[in-house]
């Protein structure tokens, strides 16, 4: 498939795992919170993890999944404060700023569209300083629906004036890409390396990219061959497994 940037006006980008390294979130929810919870309730760490992971799974694909106030109340912990304990792990994926600069230079509408809670957004945008690159920043909590809900994409058009046929969406969630595809968003890319602590895991359903610089065409052109640009060399995959 040829990607012609002349055919795209609007770019929608997810945050966690897409633009930002998901290692922070994985460490926070899978290690840091269970450790604090186990100490508070005098539980073995593995028992605390079992209890918490069951709670987390019960809220998947809902707004509660990313609602820091919900989890603070549910767990009896100050989740925003605990995030600051490990905020040194917040990091931008390689080549993200290059890609954002390419979009801005070529007059695209650049939009951050995330399920993240407002308190998470505030922390991460302060740490990464990515905010000025975007024309708009929309949290699913502002719209009352998570991106996993197909109705989200129509509701989003009340905040961002976009034509699905001329829009690109970058995500690390196949579920969110699938709901966007069903709505009619044409250009869909899956970020295969959501976390620096894990090897790339390309999608079997969507064109996958390793880094966003794979979507930046060579100087003097606005086209790329996605089959070539989005291939992840086996040498890179092998190196990341070690």
3-56 pLDDT, tens digit each: 999 999 999 999 999 999 999 999 999 999 999 999 999 999 999 999 999 999
CA 28/CA 56 separation, integer angstroms: 13
Q: Are 150 and 159 in contact (CB under 8 A)?
A: no
Q: Residue 14 contacts by C-beta under 8 Å, 6 or more apart in sequence? A: 113, 114, 147, 169, 170, 171, 172, 173, 176, 191
Can you give the pTM of this predicted structure? 0.91
Percent of the chain with pLDDT over 70: 93
**Cα torsion 178, 181, 185, 190: sign:** positive
Q: What is the mean pLDDT of the chain?
A: 93
178-218 pLDDT, tens digit each: 999 999 999 999 999 999 999 999 999 999 999 999 999 98
Tokens standing for residue 28: 């926070």
Class of the domain covering 2-21+90-240: alpha beta
At which residue do the structure tokens 């990219």 appear? 209
Residues of the chain with CATH 3.40.50.1000: 2-21+90-240
Q: Residue 38 contacts by C-beta under 8 Å, 6 or more apart in sequence? A: 44, 45, 47, 48
Tokens standing for residue 9: 């006006």
């Amino acid at each position: 498939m040829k990607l012609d940037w002349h055919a795209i006006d609007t770019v929608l980008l997810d945050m966690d795992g897409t633009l930002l390294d998901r290692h922070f979130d994985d460490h926070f929810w899978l290690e840091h919170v269970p450790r604090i919870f186990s100490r508070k309730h005098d539980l073995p760490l593995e028992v605390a993890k079992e209890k918490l992971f069951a709670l987390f799974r019960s809220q998947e694909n809902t707004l509660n999944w990313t609602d820091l106030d919900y989890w603070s109340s549910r767990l009896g912990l100050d989740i925003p404060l605990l995030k600051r304990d490990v905020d040194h792990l917040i990091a931008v994926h390689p080549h993200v700023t290059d890609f954002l600069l390419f979009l801005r230079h070529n007059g695209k509408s650049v939009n951050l569209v995330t399920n993240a809670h407002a308190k998470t957004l505030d922390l991460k945008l302060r740490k990464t300083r990515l905010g000025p690159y975007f024309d708009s920043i929309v949290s699913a909590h502002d719209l009352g629906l998570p991106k996993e809900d197909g109705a989200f994409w129509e509701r989003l058009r009340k905040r961002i004036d976009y034509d699905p046929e001329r829009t690109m969406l970058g995500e690390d969630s196949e579920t969110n890409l699938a709901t966007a595809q069903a709505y009619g968003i044409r250009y869909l890319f899956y970020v295969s390396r959501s976390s620096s602590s894990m090897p790339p895991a390309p999608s079997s359903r969507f064109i996958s990219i390793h880094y966003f610089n794979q979507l930046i065409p060579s100087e003097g052109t606005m086209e790329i061959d996605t089959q070539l640009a989005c291939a992840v060399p086996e040498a890179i995959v092998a190196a990341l497994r070690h």
